[in-house]
Structure 1
Amino acid sequence: MRIAMIGTGYVGLVSGACFSEFGVHVTCVDKDAGKIERLKRGEIPIYEPGLDELVARNVAAGRLSFTLDLKEAMAGVDAVFIAVGTPTRRGDGHADLSYVYAAAEEVAANLDHYTVVVNKSTVPVGTGREVQAIIRRANPDADFDVASNPEFLREGSAIGDFMRPDRVVIGTSSERAAEVMRRLYRPLYLIETPIVLTSLETAELTKYAANTFLAAKITFINEIADLCEKVGANVHDVARGIGLDGRIGKKFLHPGPGYGGSCFPKDTLALVRTAQQVGSPLRIIETVVDINDKRKKQMAERIVAACGGSVAGKTIGVLGVTFKPNTDDMRDAPSLDIIPALQAAGATVRAFDPAGMHEAEKLLPGVVWTQDAYGALEGADCLTILTEWNEFRALDLKRIKTLLTQPVMVDLRNIYNPEDMAAAGFVYSSIGRPAMPSQNV
């Protein structure tokens, strides 16, 4: 089989590379000439574990290629995937579909045989029908069907998510299109992956419903964590106690500074706007969005409190700035709220992140970037952990105490044990767990 993938961002590049690993011939298309040239040289524009090897292997095998020419990419394909960005539209919170619709116009101009046009981008309900209408208006004689095939990839583990998914959702009213999609995903049938066939609208809504539910779950445990602090309970024990209930499940029950990234913030907001537009408001999700926005700002206040109520003239050492580990993605990362708030309060911020500093430099002016974790802590008055990278889980605590002006740690990801930190002589603050008095050592 042959497919074209429009867009070489996170979704397009990962999906294209993974399809090629299935044995499909994939041509990835992008308008960014620089990006295409870098990809041809084997340079991967995003940080995703294992993606560089996957791309190199399939390029060498002749199954994966990159081009600026959509007409060339669509020659003889069974399907063309639209995997372009749908960022939040400025001013109203709706998803910006201009890139999707522009891609549909270009696809229409190059349709010369039966082709399934697949929306891989995260799009609001009704987008598939509009893509269908755009193509039909532009090319009335085209032989095509439109399908929705939302992605459920987690940054940092996207390749595994694609190769061993919980399910594949395909939305289409055409059996002809459904058969093409079944053949594309045939390798997953062999491992008995559930294939959920639905209407276009159902598939589109399923993607948003999944992401907003997970965002709500994160927000729920964050609020429970705040309550735990007030009543002396331990949020991790609560999370385990409820997570072992099969109706609830243990995933996404880890407290922290709030969700971020490329999906949850924009998707929760887009679904809220869609629901309001059709007169069926989602009050729960509206509240989730509001709580999460406020929570990220409140995290800076926790750090200030741990520093005695003021950070004016102080230095804060920050470990991790990406929204989660194993990615260089800075989109809606809590650090984008926390660090500027600390700077506005008079603090100097020294920071280190294993993968995100190149991108973060553009977004966080005034930060002193260091070569490793210990460099960020040299002369700092407080250590703050914002992202739970594995290399931060076993820091040399004795060395840290010699670097800090005072042994204060604010762990917003709860990667250390309060008893161990107290025994090591740290004034340790975490999320949703009882404070332990420091033992001077």
Structure 2
Amino acid sequence: MSTFAAVDIIRAKRDGQELRTEQIQWVIDAYTRHEVAEEQMSALLMAILLNGMSGAEIAAWTTAMIESGRRMDLSAVPRPTVDKHSTGGVGDKISLPLVPLVAACGAAVPQLSGRGLGHTGGTLDKMESIAGWRATLSPQEMTDQLSTLGAVICAASEDLAPADRKLYALRDVTGTVESIPMIAASIMSKKIAEGTSALVLDVKVGTGAFMKRADHAAELARTMVELGTREGVRTSALLTDMSTPLGVAVGNAIEVAESVEVLAGGGPADVVELTVALARQMVELAGLSVDPADVLASGQAMDCWRAMVSAQGGDPDAPLPTPRFREVVVADEAGVVAELDALPVGLAAWRLGAGRARKEHAVQAAAGVLCLAKPGQTVRIGQPLFELHTNTPDKFPAALADLDGAIRIAPAGTTVHRPALVQDVITAG
């Protein structure tokens, strides 16, 4: 590979020029090997944030991050492989019922997940509420489980797109997280490197999402669909509402419990709706002709869930952790719930211990918030609106302050217009 000077690449992007593929390959490789200094990469990231990237630049950046590590080979798995990625939201436990549901439809789902940071919960944090369950699998264990059960939820290995891990940490402390090209490349480098043949993206939009504006969310979705398609991964994206928390439960163990309710044929209507909508997209991209709604009703997805949990050392029958302390917030007026803002609910759950401020922090499995009244529901004075869970009661005041104003109650008889849960579907071409 040709050798370039980092400062020349920084100047080029600072001045609005399009970087050549060889320049991008070199700078990613050199940064991963610690030959490009942190301050130089910081300057380049800021130039990218301010001046953007072309489609060709984003594709080259993504490929370079993939090539910084190992690509998984899932060719030995006898089922069609398809995965899903969510950009994160409040109460977003969809992966938990979705993975076994799509596996029960006949696909193999290699769900490499992460832990939560800030107000959006991590799938691994939720799963680790289950006694004995382990997140770390070897590549062979993962391939074997995909071949036999079709369902895996586990942590990504350290050698999967290692450049992204370094860049993500740097973006976090340099105010460059919001760059859509960088977000797209970060997500897609990991998903392409995991070796799946098809991918469905759940791009959240709303107050509780990373993307607050629909046009920004759509741009991100289109960029990621193009990246996946360029790499030969059949890719589509759903734009979904995150102005209101998904379901009732926001936390770790309580979200597991709600997911199991969905697999058992119950659960909140919005969680069921989004699970089935994403499953239909995944099944279609996998080339299977089966309706996930029928499979969910049959109980086969629950069987797959229990087998998946057991295969990773977990006990699907073990009681989930419960909090030592609870506090209930009640309505001080009667009427109909007009709005329930996702962001303050997510922040309250985080403050109670369900999330972490830094990667090294621990989470409380039992902490979280139950949203007991959702938009469109009629409430009376004194009716419970929220139930707060934690093992550390000194966290209640800050969480209660977050929830102050999170819910708006309109006069009885008011018509509440809720946005569609699935707002758009973006496909290649």
Same topology, TM > 0.5: no
- TM-score of the pair, normalised by structure 1: 0.32
Name the larger-Rg structure. 1
- TM-score of the pair, normalised by structure 2: 0.33
